[in-house]
Amino acid sequence: MTIQKQKNLRKQVAPFEKAVMKDSIRQLINTFLPFFTLWFLAYESLSISYFLAFPLTVIAAGFLVRIFIIFHDCCHYSFFKSRQHNKILGTITGVLTMFPYSQWGHSHAIHHATSSNLDKRGTGDIWVLTVTEYKEASIWKKIAYRLYRNPFIMFGVGPIYVFLITNRFNQKNAKKQERMNTYLTNVLIVALAAATCWLVGWQAFLLIQGPIFFISGSIGIWLFYVQHQFEDSYFEEDEHWDYVKAAVEGSSFYKLPKLLQWLTGNIGFHHVHHLSPRVPNYKLEAVHQHTQPLQNVPTITLATSLRSLRFRLWDEENKMFVSFKEIKTRSAAPKASRISSQTKAEL
């Protein structure tokens, strides 16, 4: 994509980069009201049967994902025109989703500025090693990487580790405002949990909030994973890295059924979001539909996205994700060829 085409693309998207107050308020109502209603109904259902309450917690988890998308927009200052309003709502939604607003907003901004840059990995992204890096890694690093990339750990243990542990502590170089926001978030989370336990009992709290927390967390990690881990994604070293290419080619268009698209706040239009983070989530689809170049991007569906579970390493030579098995097969092929040649020579 030429520089001129990139400029034209950014120009086409620019008109959508403004929040609309009535649309933001509408989204708050159709997200928060169903979430708290479902939570209450799940609690009331406990007196009948947990088999009745559990499906309600599953649906509520979907709405918590939607709340996280609002939090995510606030971190980009795109949900409201006012930065202060974004900070206030971001902190509130951060308590509900267990993400400290300032801390995550900072790391996520770095993610946007370095996404798909092989020389600037490590902040706010999924751990990715190249084939060469993996081959040269120590045995302990290989074990750690394999465990990290294991689906059961990433989507099972991952939510517990991220939400309950890493999100609760500040980075060493965090500024005072960021530190204070994390402390405030932690205090409010404890206070909210304690108040809820006092109102409904700790057993009911765990039976309802536990599944909501775990399911929404797993969905959130899955969305973040699949939006950048697809076969023909884009990764380049810093000298060849390009922001627009990283957005359009390195972020997927996750084409979901309409209901799931709505629950996930249109975040499947991730290529649009990375191109312009200031576009509110409720405008992402409109940008995609009205901008022709953005319709010709890597597209994945629920079915095809499952293939990404086997993607483990980035193959710099072939510019694609590969599995551990593929690397093992490649390594075994030259060895087999050498043995065959040696056998022929002996004969």
Long-range contacts, stretch 44-51, CB < 8 angstroms, 24+ apart: 46/204, 46/207, 46/208, 50/207
- Where are the extended beta strands (E) located within the chain? 129-130, 253-255, 299-301, 313-315, 320-322
Neighbours of 289 (CB within 10 A): 11
pLDDT digits (tens, 9 = 90+) for 10-19: 888 999 999 9
Poorest-confidence range of 94-103, 187-196, 304-313? Answer: 304-313
pLDDT digits (tens, 9 = 90+) for 221-278: 999 999 998 877 899 999 999 999 899 899 989 999 999 999 999 999 999 999 999 9
Domain residue ranges in the chain: 3-330
Residue 329 pLDDT > 90: no
Bridge partners (DSSP) listed for residue 117: 236
Q: Look up the pTM and report it.
A: 0.92
Structure token digits, residue 115: 């996404």
Residue 336 pLDDT > 80: no
Torsion of CA 38, 42, 43, 49, to 10 degrees: 170
Residue 298: what pLDDT?
81
Residue 337 pLDDT > 80: no
pLDDT digits (tens, 9 = 90+) for 26-37: 999 999 999 999
Q: Are strands 320-322 and 313-315 parallel, antiparallel or unpaired?
A: antiparallel
Residue 340: what pLDDT?
52
Q: CB–CB of 35/209 below 8 Å?
A: no
Per-residue pLDDT averaged across 108-133, rounded? 93
